[in-house]
């Protein structure tokens, strides 16, 4: 009986670990390092393309949050050399550049103004 309980407990712990591992593989992460110069590049590029900033004083994008569909996102400037650039888009929110994942629109980096 004791061995059965020990086996059940061990199996439960293993299954819980597998559940945690699979949950971790679906989280949003980025290994790309974003620099201050890249934020300036996005601002300058947006100005030359006449992209306007989305304005909403109540919207304060943080890493991990998905941008609403009302925010327009654009491909990264070709001059920005980042790994897997097609994976990302950017928007300008309240005059601040914000980089998001293309598919999920989740914020991966913001710059202070």
Percent of the chain's residues with pLDDT above 90: 47
pTM (2 decimals)? Answer: 0.69
- Per-domain residue ranges of the chain: 31-110
Q: Could you read off the pLDDT of 101-113 as tens digits, one per residue? A: 999 999 999 987 5
CA 11/CA 85 separation, integer angstroms: 42
Centre a 10 Å sphere on the Cβ of residue 99 and count the other Cβ atoms it contains.
Answer: 25
CATH code for 31-110?
3.10.450
E strand residue ranges, 21-95: 74-75, 88-93
């Amino acid at each position: 009986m004791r061995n059965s309980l020990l086996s059940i407990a061990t199996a439960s712990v293993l299954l819980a670990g597998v559940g945690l591992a699979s949950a971790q593989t679906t989280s949003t992460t980025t290994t790309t390092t974003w620099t201050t110069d890249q934020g300036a590049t996005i601002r300058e590029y947006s100005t030359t393309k006449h992209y306007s900033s989305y304005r909403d004083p109540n919207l304060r994008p943080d890493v991990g949050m998905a941008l609403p569909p009302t925010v327009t996102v654009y491909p990264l400037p070709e001059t920005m050399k980042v790994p897997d650039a097609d994976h990302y888009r950017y928007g300008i929110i309240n005059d601040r550049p914000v980089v998001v994942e293309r598919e999920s629109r989740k914020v991966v980096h913001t710059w202070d103004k």
